[in-house]
Amino acid sequence: MIQFTLSFSCIPQNNFRTFDSVGSSGRCAVGWEYREDKCYKVIFPAGPATTAEKKPLCANEGSQPAAITSQAENDWVTDFSLKAVQAAGKFPAISWLTLVANIQPDKSLKWENPGGVDCPVSFTNWGPGEPLGDGGTVLLYLDPTKVPFTSWAPGPSKGKWNDIWDTHKSEDPILCVKAAIGAPANAAACDYKPTPQPQCCGCQCNCGCRRQCC
Ligand SMILES: [Ca+2]
């Protein structure tokens, strides 16, 4: 009876297929990084590409362009992405991260939400003088040692944003996100607010589930 209860609580096998090889978090596939019910990955284009050309890189891996909704997430994403660019041997030649947002007539932004209605941007981290209304792509600066533009005030620019025109081609990677194993299906949506996770202990079941709530 105990075995039946534990097995019943596991994630259905069908939902587990996209995570055939699970990473150390137990909630994201290998190559993806877990944070608050979501899995993130920095994906590099094969060569210079526009934002429109980069977006399929997320879709091809069952994910969507990531939205950043808080300072804490921005800080985490910046550090995570910088490490990914460094690990790929592409830093400092590449020092920007591509984010995707649709700019509105009043220069406000909406995060793209392929699974639903695009989301208003409630958090921004623009560099000095930005956005200039250049376009619907947001670039996040990764270099902790430099100021990217002379128009930006001196001081740390790591994590700051710059809007750029949509036809801009670059080898900057795009940040992709999808719901973690066991998270609500909308966990990757830009308006999703994670709920506190219950305390969990080690996995007690044998169907691929890596966590079991006590
Ligand atoms: Ca700009």
Nearest of 213, 141, 175, 155 to residue 44 by alpha carbon: 175
Ligand 1 centroid from CA 169, angstroms: 15
Ligand 1 centroid from CA 39, angstroms: 28
> What domain count does the chain have?
1
Query: What's the confidence (pLDDT) of residue 202?
Result: 52
Ligand 1 centroid from CA 135, angstroms: 8
Residue 209 lies in a domain: no
pLDDT in tens, 72-128: 999 999 999 999 999 999 999 999 999 988 776 676 788 888 777 888 888 999 999
Ligand 1 centroid from CA 66, angstroms: 19
Residue 1 lies in a domain: no
Q: Which domain holds residue 181?
A: 23-196
Residue 89 lies in a domain: yes
Residue 12 lies in a domain: no
Residue 202 lies in a domain: no
Ligand 1 centroid from CA 138, angstroms: 8
3-state secondary structure the chain: CHHHHHHHCCCCHHHHHHHCCECCCCCCECCCEEECCEEEEEECCCCCECHHHHHHHHHCCCCEECCCCCHHHHHHHHHHHHHHHHHCCCCCCCCEEEEEEEECCCCCEEECCCCCCCEECCCCCECCCCCCCCCCEEEEECCCCCCCCCCCCCCCCCCCEEEECCCCCECCCEEEEEECCCCCCCCCCCCCCCCCCCCEECCCCCCCCCCEEC
pLDDT band at 199 (very low <50, low <70, confident <90, very high): low
Residue with tokens 């795009």: 174
Q: Which amino acid, one-letter code, is at 137? A: T
Residue 213 lies in a domain: no
Task: Answer positive or negative: Cα dihedral of 136, 125, 175, 67.
Answer: negative
Percentage of the chain exceeding pLDDT 70: 79
pLDDT in tens, 122-145: 899 999 999 888 877 899 999 999
Residue 186 lies in a domain: yes
The residues facing 175 across adjacent strands are 42
Ligand 1 centroid from CA 130, angstroms: 5
Q: What are the phi and psi torsion angles at 67 (to 5°)? A: -105, 150
Ligand 1 centroid from CA 181, angstroms: 36
CATH of the domain at 192: 3.10.100.10
Task: Answer positive or negative: Cα dihedral of 80, 86, 88, 90.
Answer: positive
Residue 119 lies in a domain: yes
